[in-house]
Amino acid sequence: MTHHWSADLIAPDDDFAGAPLLRKEFSLDSGHGDVVTATLHVTAHGVVEPSINGAAVSEDVLTPGWSSYEWRLRYASYDVTALVADTSVLGLALGNGWFRGRLGWTGNRAFYGSELAGLAELHVEFADGHRQVVGTDATWQAGPSATTSNDLYDGQSIDARLASSAWTVPGADLTGWVGVHPVEHDAGRLQPYVGPPVRRHEVLRPVRVWTSPAGATLVDFGQNLVGWLRFRVQGPAGTEITLRHAEVLEHDELGTRPLRSAAATDRIILSGGVDSFEPTMTFHGFRYAEVTGWPGEVTADDLEAVVVHSELRRTGTFECSDDLLNQLHRNVVWGLKGNVLDVPTDCPQRDERLGWTGDIAAFAPSAAYLYDVSGFLDSWLVDVDLEQRHADGLVPFVVPDVLKYIDAPSDFPAPESTAIWSDAAVWVPWALWQAYGDREALARHYPAMTAHARRVESLLSETDLWDTGFQFGDWLDPQAPPDDPIKAKADNGVVATACYHRTLRQVSAAAEALGKADDAGYFSALADRVRSAFGKHYVSEGGRVTSDCATVYALAIEFDLLDGADRQGAGDRLAELARANGYRVSTGFAGTPFVTGALAATGHLDDAYGLLLERECPSWLYPVSMGATTVWERWDSMLPDGTINPGEMTSFNHYALGAVADWMHRAIGGIAPLAPGYSRVRVEPRPGGGLTWARAALDTPHGRIATSWSLEGNRFELDVTVPDGVTATVSVPGSDAVECSAGVHHYATTLA
Ligand code: BGC
């Protein structure tokens, strides 16, 4: 329910090192009986931690997250009935967050404004119906906290000598506190959360603590994760403990080069008593930490790593007989966890952490199987739509689009629609529609889908190809030079035109599903034109596609751009290329999600498994063989000799190349939607690659679908669980598909 605000957005008269506390003491109106409900609505310019009488009002952190603040600032609403007392202190601790912290690689900060501010309204309802409202206004006061610096990229410093809870108590001595002033703002921007809050999740203990060759104390948490360290410690007052974070080691020391300018360093100055440390106004992508200044020796019992991300429900699982594939799948899951901190990001560790649209365009189907990402991506798509509306249908490279404020270096392209990245406005809603079948959500996203399709229509050449303008294309083709990831083998026009064809088919199908027959007809006719242009200009005898590399065949096959003999010829050529390359991956962002599917769909299942199971670099299992616990940005983010790839962009936690999980779910697990939301499901496991069993399970909107198969010698057996109201079309290898309804079904066959 939307809340109508009467409170002022208030800023402290003194900034207090970027982490001010705002405070209001109040008494409950008397004579109205008991408090029936008390609700706090709260948001900020910056991030805010609200409290009542010193108690945190919720477990959320980094509220209100990051949205396109220019047009949408979310507020959280909490039931605080149990917290209000006759006399109470309502407190807001502010930090820089995304609003005023650093964003992007230029070192700049404060893109949305220079002043931190808080907005809160407490609504108390009494037994006799009386209502009392306590809101932020000029009567509030502001004071210092123990946080002496905070930034999402650089880390947080806390001086425990300054820590005190006195300010949370009524009647506190407020020496040193100052006033506040109202900040002009457009209340029309204020909207309730439509997605989940950010919360703490797993807590990991060190698996190893040791001294490096250079004498540093290093801690390994055994898992590349996103969050922060938490601990209690006691030492002489004034002792400074420094915590540096990194995803990898290099030459046996902390490998921080991939973080670029992100300092990812937290500090605490000890008070002399027992100090608790938890830096909740930053986050780090790390597996390792370097601890300096610890009083005495650090042991594995001293520290814990807290995993932080948006609250999402796990829905899909996958497991098979190959341990390396299982590790790859776990890495995909951790890659997701690390990049769903309110915004779907490219990476969580370096001076970037932006909502790169192409990354989620590639990964959305995998994400939507693994977790219920409907609310999370629904919320992000609101910002996609807002950014687009203010840019004439253009879907920017990142959402929220902070790049529009960054003075682009001369080699950075002027903003214009780009395949895959801008296609996120269609591919992401489409993935949600397929996974959850929510027609209202599709209708909400439809304007953004069509605005993108129409803008690209205006960019087509006279030939009906999308072959001009800047493209990221098959970004990060493994054969491109490390310092020039855009130099792909695949022709940009082929990639962009193929992607546009896919986009148009999805927009047309969405129009159809929403009963918009005119639009459906329009976009499908345009898709026909683009398809025939693709055939005419890019396809030659026997299904050869311009630039003759794996990505162009993968896209041409999976995006349905070829007929009959051409399609088979393209599949055969793709298989030939895969074999000739020794099954090492040769695709980048564009081709990677689709290459195994294209092989399997054209009779080359063995080659699809060949690619999936290859261990030599570049391959999906190469990072696994190097001990990876997340999906890497580059196939070789770490080189075989254990050094970090010299490329400037080298993240160890990027989900995009993990998009192969979608194929694993469909082809190995055997679960794919046949109708939106899995009201009809295709169960078609395709055993191969020496696997002897696999199982998958998915909680769909209709209930749990589960598969489990085994292969002993030639004997193939499959169990399928189908929930009520769902029809499954089940294919076992070598047999015709059969339809089945709710229940548990067993199939057995002898493979030829
Ligand atoms: C990001 C990518 C992103 C790309 C686009 C990179 O810096 O990390 O994942 O999609 O830029 O060029």
Residue minimizing CA distance to atom 8 of ligand 1: 346
Average pLDDT over residues 76-89: 98
Domain 313-668: CATH class, spelled out:
mainly alpha
Residue 153, CA distances (Å) to 175, 283, 351, 654 in order: 33, 7, 6, 17
- Looking only at the bridges linking them, the beta strands covering 253-255 and 340-341 are unpaired
Mutate to test the pocket of ligand 1, among 475, 487, 651 (most ligand atoms within 8 A of CB): 475
Inform me whether the pLDDT recorded for 408 exceeds 80.
Answer: no
**CATH 3.40.50.300 assigned to 200-310:** no
Q: Residue length, the chain?
A: 752
Phi then psi dihedrals of residue 223, to 5 deg: -155, 130
Name the pLDDT band for 149 (thresholds 50, 70, 90).
very high
- Looking only at the bridges linking them, the beta strands covering 147-151 and 155-159 are antiparallel
Ligand 1, closest atom to CA 421?
A: 10
How much is the mean pLDDT over the chain? Answer: 97
Task: Look at the alpha carbons of 640, 641, 647, 651 in this order and tell me if their dihedral is positive or negative.
Answer: positive
Alpha carbons within 13 A on the beta-carbon side of 377: 31
Res 481: pLDDT: 82
Percent of the chain at pLDDT > 90 equals 96
Res 255: pLDDT: 96
Name the pLDDT band for 570 (thresholds 50, 70, 90).
very high
Inform me whether the pLDDT recorded for 502 exceeds 90.
Answer: yes
Ligand 1 center from residue 164 Cα (angstroms): 42
Mutate to test the pocket of ligand 1, among 356, 422, 649 (most ligand atoms within 8 A of CB): 356
Ligand 1, closest atom to CA 589?
A: 10
194: Cβ–Cβ under 8 A, 6 or more apart, which residues? 74, 375, 378, 379, 382
Average pLDDT over residues 330-355: 98
Inform me whether the pLDDT recorded for 409 exceeds 90.
Answer: no
Residues with catalytic roles: 352, 633
8 Å CB contact between 709 and 685: yes
Phi then psi dihedrals of residue 499, to 5 deg: -65, -40
Res 4: pLDDT: 85
- Looking only at the bridges linking them, the beta strands covering 253-255 and 248-250 are antiparallel
Residue 483, CA distances (Å) to 308, 461, 622, 634 in order: 32, 31, 21, 12
Average pLDDT over residues 474-501: 91
Kind plus residue range of the DSSP H or E element containing 234:
strand 217-234
Residue minimizing CA distance to atom 2 of ligand 1: 346
Give 40's strand partners. 78, 122
Q: Where are the domains of the chain?
A: 10-195, 200-310, 313-668, 677-750
| Cα separation, 399 vs 493, whole angstroms | 25
Average pLDDT over residues 371-393: 97
8 Å CB contact between 14 and 178: yes
- pLDDT single digits (tens) 508-564: 999 999 999 999 999 999 999 999 999 999 999 999 999 999 999 999 999 999 999
- Cis status of the peptide bond prior to 344, with omega within 30 of 0: no
- Coil, helix or strand for 208? strand
Structure tokens at 509: 């199908």
Name the pLDDT band for 647 (thresholds 50, 70, 90).
confident
Ligand 1 center from residue 609 Cα (angstroms): 28
Ligand 1 center from residue 486 Cα (angstroms): 10
Name the pLDDT band for 103 (thresholds 50, 70, 90).
very high
In the CATH scheme, what is the code of domain 10-195?
2.60.120.260
Residue 423, CA distances (Å) to 157, 378, 419, 455 in order: 40, 16, 6, 11
8 Å CB contact between 618 and 631: no
| Cα separation, 432 vs 438, whole angstroms | 8
Structure tokens at 392: 């004439």
Inform me whether the pLDDT recorded for 119 exceeds 90.
Answer: yes
| Cα separation, 393 vs 452, whole angstroms | 6
| Cα separation, 478 vs 496, whole angstroms | 19
Inform me whether the pLDDT recorded for 413 exceeds 80.
Answer: no
Q: Which fold has domain 677-750?
A: Maltose phosphorylase, domain 3 (2.60.420)
Residue minimizing CA distance to atom 3 of ligand 1: 356
Output the ligand 1 site: residues, CB below 6 A: 346-347, 352, 356, 358-359, 472, 475, 649, 654
| Cα separation, 349 vs 306, whole angstroms | 15
- Cis status of the peptide bond prior to 685, with omega within 30 of 0: no
Res 662: pLDDT: 98
Inform me whether the pLDDT recorded for 410 exceeds 70.
Answer: no
Q: Strands, DSSP E only, in 476-614?
A: 539-540, 544-545
Kind plus residue range of the DSSP H or E element containing 526:
helix 517-538
Name the pLDDT band for 2 (thresholds 50, 70, 90).
confident
Residue minimizing CA distance to atom 7 of ligand 1: 649
Average pLDDT over residues 224-240: 98
Res 411: pLDDT: 62
Nearest to 632 by CA among 266, 402, 415, 338: 338
Average pLDDT over residues 60-68: 98
Ligand 1 center from residue 356 Cα (angstroms): 6
Residue minimizing CA distance to atom 11 of ligand 1: 356
Mutate to test the pocket of ligand 1, among 649, 653, 655 (most ligand atoms within 8 A of CB): 649
Same fold: 200-310 with 313-668: no
Helix-helix angle 517-538:550-558, to 10 degrees: 150
- pLDDT single digits (tens) 452-464: 999 999 999 999 9
Task: Look at the alpha carbons of 472, 476, 481, 483 in this order and tell me if their dihedral is positive or negative.
Answer: positive
Of 53-57, 647-651, 717-721, minimum mean pLDDT range: 647-651
Kind plus residue range of the DSSP H or E element containing 358:
helix 357-370
Res 1: pLDDT: 60
- pLDDT single digits (tens) 34-49: 999 999 999 999 999 9
8 Å CB contact between 660 and 620: yes
Res 415: pLDDT: 87
Kind plus residue range of the DSSP H or E element containing 534:
helix 517-538
Res 461: pLDDT: 98
Ligand 1 center from residue 469 Cα (angstroms): 18
| Cα separation, 124 vs 38, whole angstroms | 4
- Cis status of the peptide bond prior to 396, with omega within 30 of 0: no
Name the pLDDT band for 376 (thresholds 50, 70, 90).
very high
Ligand 1, closest atom to CA 359?
A: 10
Ligand 1 center from residue 656 Cα (angstroms): 10
